[in-house]
Amino acid sequence: MPFIRVSYLEQQYEACQLERVSQTIMSALVRHFHVPEDDLFQVFHAHKSEEFYYSKNYLDIERSDELLYIQIMLKSGRTRKQKTNFYEDLAEQLSKTIPMRKEDVFIVLVDSEFEDWSFGNGIAQMLQRSGRGDMAHREIVSSARESFGEFAPAFVGYSEDVLFGDLWRREQLSLRDRSMITVTALVMGGMTDELPYHLRLAVENGLKSEELVEAITHLAFYAGWPRAASALQVAKGVFLSDSAEALV
């Protein structure tokens, strides 16, 4: 659910180049943030010189009049690593497809929540869908490939094709519900190694950190106090670390 604004000096880019900018941004969003390919909402603004200002060397980056301001509003929950990888990849791809200087790629990500969006009809569609099965079709990328790569290709394949490619995308449960069920199962089983990934995924799927902490607290009386304590220690590390990174 990203909304993208691209601003530039008039006469710096031709229509065909702007079309490639649009496509390149969308491709990077799909790769790094798993945005649906048809979730496309972008506006491009050409500005006169008296409307367009920038520092030519702030932070020792030499900018030119080909500067692109790319502002992307999207759902919160992406990790610092996802964001930094996105910046690097988008700048690299734009430098090749336009082509343009990477120094002239200025990106701003603006986090938002489901209640901050209305796609039409005066309705907060994402707020409604976050609690139902409507979002079950969204692709989720498994961490198995990053963890095991070519060491266990069959395991990676089953994780990507069956677990996250099929089961997680079934519409009978929302992604929010599936995340809550998965976190509960991991806590109950004392499987803390898998918790960091699924806690972050749960936030991406609409659960708040305080909701997850409360769920683990509730489970202390059913899963056992030591397992809940271990899970809370993991959650503390994940949420405090992510909060700190968001401030950097």
- Which residues does residue 44 pair with via DSSP β-bridges, in sequence order? 6
Q: Is the dihedral of CA 127, 133, 139, 145 positive or negative?
A: positive
Q: Which residues contact 245 (CB under 8 A, 6 or more apart)?
A: 79, 80
Question: Which helix or strand (DSSP H or E) is residue 183 part of?
Answer: helix 175-189
Residues catalogued as catalytic: 2
Encode burial over 131-169: b for 16+ CB neighbours within 10 A, e otherwise: eebebbebebbbbbbeeeeeeeeeebeebbeeebbeebe
CB 168 within 8 A of CB 175: yes
Q: What sections of 104-148 are H helices per DSSP?
A: 125-129, 144-148
